[in-house]
Chain A
Amino acid sequence: MTQIEREAWAILLILLLAAAVAYAHVTTTTEEYSRYNTDWNGTSALPAEEIRDLRNLDTAATLLILAPDRPFTAEEVGYLQTFLDAGGRVIVADEEGTANSLLADLGSTMRVRPQNLASLERDRADPGLFTVSVVGNTSLFAGVGTVRVNRPAAVTGGEPLLETAILTWEDGDGDGRISGDEVFGTAVICAAEGNLTVLGDESLFINAMLAENPQFIENIQPIRVDSIHSRTGTANPIINTRLWIQETPPAAAAAAALAILPVAWHFGRKRDD
């Protein structure tokens, strides 16, 4: 191999490495809850399948609506109602209260009440990172005694499934300690009405929290994540383009042709020579 060839191979190798790094960079995001966020606050590691159509949902799977930030149309609410009526299980994980309109449309009395809950029942310095107890009898928490939550909100209405210890308070002033008018009391973090479950802590599904409650994640398998309304679908233009190509056969064919044609042209020219 001549020196020129060696240099060419070296440059090619460097280019491939640079391309791989660039690809990894542009096809990931730092958006919270995004399936394309591989960092601690993404959901890339959540074993779940994304769905973008609420029609004909599989009742064998759990539908997860995670941190919804887009409204549901009446039609979509109808699909969800049908799914619930057919025995499907829906988990709405929200701590900002944006799911309350959906809950109302579904006829549920449960509501998410955003609060800055803190507790002494914890083994971490952060007062918002604490454990709650399973109080309801449900397959969701089968084999689970306590669940570690991460700055959750309270849930009102429904049958309580997860409840904080009595040494919990709403840290209104955010100083991390109980002071002023703050008082200790329990709060419900998760409640259910039939097959509809409302979880006041969407953080349970982020990458950094999956190892904290493995049995719970196991219990709700298989999971389908609604990527239309959930923040899990948050991406960037490059990711969107890639997804569009993957989901659109003509676009995928065009992309494949774009990749193959230069190679074919190169080899064809060599044969001519």
Chain B
Amino acid sequence: MNRQVSHAVLAAVAILVLVLIGVQAVDPVLYAAKNISTAAHADPATIQKRSPGDAASLVPLMDELLGETGTLALTIKLQDYESAERDLARYNELSRRFDRLVVTLDVSGTDIGEFQQNNRQNQDALAALLNDTRRFDALQRLEIEVRGDDEQHMTVIYEGEALRQKMRETFSAYARREAATVRIAEHYEINATPYQESVDHFAEVADAANGWQEEINGGGTGTGGTGSGGTVQSPLVIAVTPVEGSYGDVLLIGGIHAAGKSGAPVEIYVDSRLAATVALDDDRTYVHSYRVGRILAGPHLAYATAGTIYSNVAAFEVLPKNTSITLSLAEVNGTAVACTGNLTADDGRPVTRAPVLIRVDGETLVGAETDGNGTYRADILLPAGEHALRAEFHAAGYPLNASESPTETVILRGEGLSPFPFAAAIAAAAGTGWYLRRRRSEESTPAAEPEAAPSPEVARPTPQVSIAGLPPREAATVLFCTLRARLGLPETKTPRDCARIAPAYAGFFERYERIRYAGETPSEEELTDMERIALGGDADRA
């Protein structure tokens, strides 16, 4: 076979192989071993590494949370409010860390998730206890100051009664969670003693409020409105109807202000947070439609204020509801997938403005939020290959149970081969070719020089030069440069080079070489001859 043909065939085969490998190079299957696991074990070298996720800190964090409840309740009981603020801030920070960890580790469906729910409620309860205790403390001082002023005194008593009722209700709910929390703590071998002590401290604070209120009502001032041993009856009354509701339901919170005037503002508080301000009607009643939204499931308290008058405390219960979440995947392009779905309660109501997490390949979490219709959307960039995605609703702060969608799978093709490397390679090849070609032509120039020895016919026009007044050696140099330029020789050429390239002028160049390098000084006659030759009057060349 002809050698050139065989080389061409080899080159073609090599290119074919490279093309085949190149096509496969973008396919991750190429790099995946087929036999990487059996029922008994998996090949660790082929299993994707992941961040440990701080799993080891989960149980210690639960321990810290329970410990913090004990510290916080104690400082509240001791009325060390500055320390209590610090403890509460730390407790909140620990709770946030714990919440994040529960979601990251995907354990919200376990008893740790139950612990998390209880902890959230404990967090709210202890924050309320701190505020209520501080206010109660102030009321106790105020009550002494306003003795003798019946109107002011009654105001203090009404507020004190409202606080007392609120603290009792909050404590009841706090104590109800004790059994479940202790059970979970024991399962994880966590010391629940500080938490149990916090329940005792809470009880003491609530009992102290009871005691003070009983003391006041017992006739200490003689201005109470309920008689001995009873509770005061505020002229501002509140009630919640119905007393139970779930997400999306509307509860009517209203009542009557016997001492109020039509149009007077009434502020309605739910769990110590202002829920609405309404005006008294002509019949001195007020009402507010309270929609159950982002509020924890369980017992809650409502009370109202009209100026300095506090109402009694009304309790209502928010019942948990199941939810369902859907997930649909659509490939946007080779590297992105659009995730859409709906989050609804079990009665079909959309869950609005709620956070949704999309778990990618069991690890990465991407956040989204539902709109006013309970619909969410997230575009996620993913590497090429198969991916498993699942939407999760963790119901943090909602009276709803967590839910998750079925796992959906998407296969992304990935981006095609980028044209930039190819364009760069072609440009580099073209540039290299251009450079080599130019270099070759430059290298070939000296070889062509002897052939290109200028003849008088093709010599360039005679330049205008004057050597008058110049020293002889400098004048010779000027004449050499003039002749060299006239013959079109590069400035880099020495007199010897010039003599070789243009042998017809060898006499001139050799004479100049002696002047230049041997230090000879040309005579006037020699300069005249050289000038004649340099300027083209060279019929008799030296």
Contact = CB atoms under 8 A, between A and B. Distances in A.
B48 A124 contact: yes
Interface in A171-185: 176-179, 182-185
A155 interface: no
Contact of B109 (A123, A167, A178, A212): A178
A242 B211 CA distance: 94
Contacts of A48: none
Contact of B43 (A40, A125, A148, A183): A40
Given A167-B55, A167-B58, A184-B112, A120 B105 contact: yes
A178 B106 CA distance: 8
Interface string B24-38: 000000000001111
A28 B344 CA distance: 58
B53 A120 contact: yes
A95 interface: yes
A150 B111 contact: no
Contact of A150 (B44, B106, B107, B363): B44
A121 interface: yes
Given A95-B40, A203-B40, A178 B107 contact: yes
A124 B38 contact: no
Interface in A131-185: 148, 150-151, 165-167, 176-179, 182-185
Nearest to B189: A166
B42 A129 contact: yes
A65 to B, nearest CB: 16
A12 B48 CA distance: 45
A156 B36 CA distance: 30
A125 B50 contact: yes
B41 interface: yes
Contacts of B187: 184-185
B259 interface: no
B51 A123 contact: yes
Contact of A124 (B39, B50, B59): B50
B6 interface: no
Given A124-B49, A184-B110, A165 B40 contact: no
Contacts of B56: 121, 165
A61 interface: no
A209 B43 CA distance: 8
Nearest to B107: A178
A124 B42 CA distance: 11
Contacts of A30: 35
B188 interface: yes
B52 interface: yes
B45 interface: yes
Contact of B47 (A96, A124, A166, A182): A124
A41 B48 contact: no
A182 B41 CA distance: 21
A209 B50 contact: no
B45 A40 contact: yes
Contacts of B38: 32, 41
Interface string B87-117: 0000000000000000001110111100000
A126 B42 contact: yes
Contact of B55 (A121, A206, A209): A121
B367 to A, nearest CB: 20
A185 B188 CA distance: 8
B242 interface: no
B43 A208 contact: yes
Interface in A199-236: 202-203, 206, 208-209, 212
A125 B48 contact: yes
A122 interface: yes
B383 interface: no
A76 B197 CA distance: 61
B55 A129 contact: no
A174 to B, nearest CB: 10
A128 interface: yes
A253 B519 CA distance: 97
A128 B42 contact: yes
A120 B42 contact: no
Given A167-B58, A177-B362, A122 B52 contact: yes
Contacts of A178: 106-107, 109-110
Contacts of A151: 39-42
Nearest to B407: A175
A212 B44 contact: yes
A32 B35 CA distance: 12
A124 B37 CA distance: 14
A121 B111 CA distance: 18
B49 A123 contact: yes
B59 to A, nearest CB: 6
A128 B47 CA distance: 11
B112 A208 contact: no
B45 to A, nearest CB: 6
Contacts of B36: 40
A97 to B, nearest CB: 12
A225 B40 CA distance: 19
A81 B255 CA distance: 85
A209 B41 CA distance: 10
B44 A209 contact: yes
Contacts of B35: 30, 39, 41
Contacts of A167: 55, 58-59, 105, 107
23 contacts: A32-B40, A41-B35, A41-B41, A95-B40, A96-B40, A120-B55, A120-B105, A121-B52, A122-B52, A123-B51, A125-B50, A125-B363, A150-B40, A165-B56, A166-B189, A167-B58, A167-B59, A183-B110, A184-B107, A206-B41, A208-B43, A208-B44, A209-B44
Given A121-B52, A128-B41, A203-B41, 19 more contacts: A41-B43, A67-B40, A121-B56, A123-B51, A125-B362, A129-B42, A129-B44, A129-B47, A150-B42, A151-B40, A151-B42, A167-B58, A167-B105, A178-B106, A178-B107, A184-B110, A184-B187, A184-B188, A206-B41
Interface of B: 35-45, 47-53, 55-56, 58-59, 105-107, 109-112, 187-189, 361-363
The 7 closest A-B pairs by CB, nearest first: A203-B41, A120-B55, A150-B41, A125-B48, A40-B43, A124-B47, A126-B47
